[in-house]
C-alpha cells in the first residue's frame, strides 16, 4: 500500500492537475473540442468528461458506494467499454455541463477528506486519479500539436536560464553488475507495472550523455537513411513504406533548410534540441545507421538510478531521480510544460546522473529496446486496464518529456506505446555497440 499522504497535499495536487486541464481547453472553439475522428486522438470534450468520471468511479462510487452525479456516465465515459470511434457521436453534455460535472466531482472528493492525513487507500487512489489526469493533460498537449491548434498557455511558464546551452556530445562508462530493477515497496507511490524491484544482471555499457539531437538526426535524413532498406528491420520498413515516411513527422524542407511545425507555427529546426516525435522504428533505424543501439530499460534505469562504489561497481542505493532524491525543479529538468517545448540537450546540468548523463528526466521520452512486459509476480492494481492489456505489444519509454508533470515522474516510471506512434513527445538516447 501507499504511505499515507496529507489530505491538503492530495487536494492541492488534484486541483493543480485540474487547473492544467482547463488551461488546455479553455481557449478552444466548439469545433476544436471535437476535432477529426483519428485513431491517435480523442474528442477533447469527451476526454475531459472522462477525467471526472475516472475520479468519481474509482473513489466516490467504488469506495463510497455513491451514485454518479451524471446519469448514464458509464455509457458516456468508460474508456474500457465505449468504442473509440463512438466517442464523437455520443450525447455528451455541453462544455458548461461537462465542467459542472467535473466541478461537482472534485468538490465531493475534497469534502470527503476529513482527517489531516488520508488513509492508505485514499492516499493511493487520489494520487492514481490525479496522475491519470496528468497523463491525459500531456495527451491533450500533443493532441493540440497533432491537430495544428495554437500553442497552449500555462500559468507556470519558466524556461531554464540555460535553455540554449548547446550540444553535449560523448559517452559515459557505466559498469555492470547486479541491479534491482523496479520500485521498492517503500516508494511513496508506484504503478502496478513497476512492482516490484527484482534483481537483474546488467553488463557494462557506454551510454550517450544526451539524447540524439535534431542536427544528428538530420544527418541521417540527409544521407537518405529513410530510403536505405539496410537500416530498417522488417516491421520498420513495412511501416515506412505504408506511411511514406521520409523524415520526422513535423519536419519541413524550406529553401534547403529544415524547419518544424510546433503547434500552429512553422519555426527553424533548433539543431541542439533533442529530436522529438520520432517513433521506435525511426529511432532504431538511426541507431543502425550510426552503429549504435537503443538501451534496454534495465540499462536506462541503471544509468539514471545507480551510483558507483569505491571499487567501480554498482551501489545498492537507487536514486529516485538522476540527480538524487530532491524533487525536480527547473534547474534539474524540463518538465511541467514550463518551457512550452524542448530545450537544448546541454541544458540542466544540475540534473546529471551519477555517471554524467543529462536530461534523463524531462525534455523528451526516451525509447528503449525493451518490449513492455510484466515484472515477476505482477498483479494489477485498482485500475486493471492500465498495464495488463498492453503487455507484449508495446515498447518501453523512460524519463518523461517537457509536458510531463514532475510530481508523477521518477526513475522507475515506465511509459509504453506501440512502435509506430510518432505523435507522442518521444526521442531517444543511445548506447555504443
Q: Residue 428 pLDDT > 90, yes or no?
A: yes
Burial class (CB in 10 A: 0-12, 13-18, 19+), 349: middle
Q: What is the average per-residue pLDDT within 243-257? A: 96
Q: How confident is the model at residue 70 (pLDDT cuts 50, 70, 90)?
A: very high
Q: Residue 379 pLDDT > 80, yes or no?
A: yes
Q: Residue 160 pLDDT > 90, yes or no?
A: no
Residue 221 has which C-alpha cell? Answer: 535524413
Q: Residue 20 pLDDT > 80, yes or no?
A: yes
Residues forming beta bridges with residue 384, ordered by sequence position: none
Q: How confident is the model at residue 312 (pLDDT cuts 50, 70, 90)?
A: confident
Total Cβ atoms within 10 A of residue 258:
20
Q: What is the average per-residue pLDDT within 159-171? A: 94
In terms of residues, how long is the chain?
Answer: 433
8 A C-beta contact, residue 214 and residue 275: yes
Measured CA to CA, the distance from residue 273 to residue 347 in angstroms comes to 10
Measured CA to CA, the distance from residue 138 to residue 152 in angstroms comes to 12
Q: Note the pTM of the prediction, 2 decimals.
A: 0.97
Q: What is the average per-residue pLDDT within 381-398? A: 98
What sign has the CA pseudo-torsion 252, 255, 258, 259? negative
Q: How confident is the model at residue 233 (pLDDT cuts 50, 70, 90)?
A: very high
Q: Residue 159 pLDDT > 90, yes or no?
A: no
Residue 38, classed as helix, strand or coil, is coil
What is the set of domains in the chain, with CATH numbers? 7-146 (1.20.120.450), 160-433 (3.90.1580.10)
pLDDT tens figures, 125-141? 999 999 999 999 999 99
Q: Residue 2's pLDDT is what?
A: 82
Q: How confident is the model at residue 161 (pLDDT cuts 50, 70, 90)?
A: confident
8 A C-beta contact, residue 252 and residue 268: no
Q: Residue 189 pLDDT > 80, yes or no?
A: yes
The overall average pLDDT reported for the chain is 97
pLDDT tens figures, 257-273? 999 999 999 999 999 99
Q: Residue 342 pLDDT > 80, yes or no?
A: yes
Q: Residue 45 pLDDT > 70, yes or no?
A: yes
Q: Residue 155's pLDDT is what?
A: 85
Residue 6, classed as helix, strand or coil, is strand
Q: Residue 1 pLDDT > 70, yes or no?
A: no
Q: How confident is the model at residue 146 (pLDDT cuts 50, 70, 90)?
A: very high
Measured CA to CA, the distance from residue 384 to residue 402 in angstroms comes to 28
Q: What is the average per-residue pLDDT within 216-227? A: 98
Measured CA to CA, the distance from residue 287 to residue 278 in angstroms comes to 13
Residue 368 has which C-alpha cell? Answer: 528503449
HEC string for 293-316: ECCCHHHHHHHHHCCECCCCCECC
CA dihedral 333, 334, 335, 336 (to 10 degrees): 130
Higher-pLDDT residue of 163, 3? 163
Residue 175 has which C-alpha cell? Answer: 559498469
**Maximum C-alpha span of the chain:** 65
Q: Residue 121 pLDDT > 70, yes or no?
A: yes
Measured CA to CA, the distance from residue 332 to residue 329 in angstroms comes to 5
Measured CA to CA, the distance from residue 24 to residue 45 in angstroms comes to 11
Least confident residue range of 92-106, 156-170, 186-200? 156-170
Q: Residue 84 pLDDT > 80, yes or no?
A: yes
Q: Residue 172's pLDDT is what?
A: 98
Q: What is the average per-residue pLDDT within 351-360? A: 98
Amino acid at each position: 500500500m501507499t504511505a499515507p499522504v496529507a489530505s491538503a497535499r492530495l487536494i492541492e495536487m488534484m486541483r493543480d492537475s485540474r487547473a492544467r486541464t482547463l488551461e488546455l481547453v479553455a481557449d478552444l472553439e466548439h469545433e476544436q473540442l471535437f476535432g477529426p475522428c483519428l485513431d491517435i486522438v480523442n474528442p477533447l470534450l469527451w476526454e475531459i468528461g472522462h477525467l471526472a468520471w475516472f475520479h468519481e468511479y474509482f473513489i466516490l462510487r467504488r469506495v463510497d458506494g455513491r451514485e454518479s452525479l451524471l446519469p448514464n456516465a458509464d455509457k458516456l465515459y468508460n474508456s474500457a467499454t465505449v468504442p473509440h470511434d463512438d466517442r464523437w457521436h455520443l450525447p455528451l453534455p455541453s462544455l458548461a455541463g461537462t465542467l459542472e460535472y467535473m466541478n461537482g466531482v472534485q468538490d465531493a472528493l475534497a469534502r470527503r477528506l476529513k482527517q489531516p492525513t488520508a488513509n492508505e487507500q485514499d492516499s493511493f487512489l487520489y494520487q492514481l486519479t490525479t496522475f491519470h489526469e496528468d497523463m491525459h493533460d500531456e495527451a491533450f498537449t500533443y493532441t493540440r500539436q497533432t491537430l495544428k491548434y495554437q500553442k497552449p498557455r500555462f500559468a507556470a511558464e519558466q524556461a531554464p536560464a540555460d535553455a540554449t546551452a548547446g550540444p553535449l556530445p560523448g559517452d559515459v562508462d557505466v559498469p555492470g553488475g547486479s541491479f534491482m530493477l523496479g520500485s521498492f515497496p517503500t516508494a511513496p507511490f508506484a504503478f502496478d507495472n513497476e512492482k516490484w524491484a527484482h534483481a537483474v544482471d546488467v553488463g557494462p555499457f557506454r551510454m550517450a550523455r544526451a539524447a540524439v539531437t535534431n542536427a544528428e538526426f538530420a544527418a541521417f535524413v540527409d544521407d537518405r537513411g529513410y530510403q536505405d532498406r539496410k537500416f530498417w528491420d522488417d516491421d520498420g520498413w513495412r511501416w515506412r513504406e505504408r506511411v511514406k515516411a521520409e523524415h520526422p513527422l513535423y519536419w519541413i524542407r524550406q529553401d534547403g533548410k529544415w524547419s518544424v511545425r510546433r503547434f500552429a507555427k512553422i519555426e527553424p529546426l533548433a539543431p541542439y534540441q533533442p529530436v522529438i516525435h520520432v517513433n521506435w522504428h525511426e529511432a532504431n533505424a538511426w541507431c543502425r545507421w550510426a552503429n549504435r543501439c537503443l538501451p534496454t530499460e534495465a540499462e536506462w534505469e541503471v544509468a539514471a538510478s545507480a551510483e558507483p562504489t569505491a571499487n567501480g561497481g554498482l551501489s545498492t542505493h537507487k536514486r529516485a531521480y538522476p540527480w538524487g532524491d530532491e524533487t525536480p525543479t527547473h534547474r534539474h529538468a524540463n518538465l511541467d510544460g514550463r518551457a512550452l517545448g524542448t530545450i537544448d540537450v546541454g541544458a540542466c546540468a544540475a540534473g546529471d546522473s551519477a555517471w554524467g548523463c543529462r536530461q534523463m528526466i524531462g525534455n523528451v521520452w526516451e525509447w528503449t529496446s525493451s518490449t513492455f512486459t510484466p515484472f515477476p509476480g505482477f498483479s494489477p492494481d485498482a485500475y486493471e486496464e492500465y498495464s495488463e492489456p498492453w503487455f507484449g505489444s508495446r515498447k518501453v519509454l523512460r524519463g518523461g518529456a517537457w509536458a510531463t508533470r514532475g510530481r508523477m515522474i521518477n526513475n522507475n516510471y515506465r511509459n509504453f506505446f506501440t512502435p509506430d506512434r510518432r505523435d507522442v513527445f518521444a526521442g531517444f538516447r543511445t548506447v555504443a555497440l
